[in-house]
Amino acid sequence: MVKFRFNLVLIFFIFLLPSVASEIEINASATEINYGAPGIAFVGAGQNVTFNSTGTENAESVLWDFGRDISGPNTRYSNLTSVSHIIYAEGRYDLIFTAFYDNDYYEIREYTLFVDYEERETNIVNNEALFFAIAGSELIMSLVLGYWTQQIRKDKIYL
C-alpha cells in the first residue's frame, strides 16, 4: 500500500509540474518567412527576424542562445523575451531558448532557422565552348602522356 501511495504522489507532481511552469512556445516572424515543421523556419538574408517567447510569465529569467553571433559582435546571447535581429549571413542557426524558474527548475526549447539555404542556379553562357575547351585539353594531355610512355618503353627506363 505504501508503494501505491508513493506512485500516486509521484503522478500528482508530474501532472502538477507543467501547470506551475506553464507551456513555453517560441516562434520567429519576418516579412517573408516560410515555416517548415514545428520549430523550423526559412527566411531570406538581410531580413529583420523577431524571435518571441510566450508562456514565460512565471520565469525568473530567460536566455536565448543563437549558437553563434547572429547579426554582429556580441549578439549570440540575449536575456529578453522578444529579440529582433537582421540576419545577413546565410546558413543554419540552431537556437536554444531556456526559461529559468524557482528551485533550479528550467525549461529548454529548440528552434532551427535556415537563412537563404537554397542552391542558386548558375547559368554558364557558353556551355559548348566550355565542353570543347575541356575536351581539347584532355586530348592534348593524353597525347603528351602517350608520347612519354612510348619514350620510356623505347629506352627501357624504369623507376
pLDDT reported for residue 157: 67
Kindly list the distances between the CA atom of residue 141 and the CA atoms of 78, 83, 113, 134, 149, in Å, as whole numbers in the listed order. Answer: 59, 59, 48, 11, 12
pLDDT attached to residue 39: 82
CATH, range 22-115: 2.60.40.10
In this predicted model, which residue has the larger pLDDT, 5 or 74? 74
CB 22 within 8 Å of CB 50 = no
Whether the per-residue pLDDT at 133 is higher than 90: the answer is: no
Which grid coordinates are listed for 80? 529578453
Which of the four pLDDT bands, split at 50, 70 and 90, describes residue 138? very high
Q: Which residue has the higher pLDDT, 38 or 51?
A: 51
Q: Give residue limits of the domains in the chain.
A: 22-115, 123-159
What grid cell was written down for 109? 526549447
Per-residue pLDDT band at 129 (split at 50, 70, 90): confident
For residue 154, give the H/E element and its range: helix 127-155
pLDDT at 7: 57
- pLDDT > 60? residue 17: no
| Mean of all residue pLDDT scores within the chain | 78
Model confidence at 28, in pLDDT bands (50, 70, 90)? Answer: confident
Cell numbers that stand for 38 in this block: 514545428
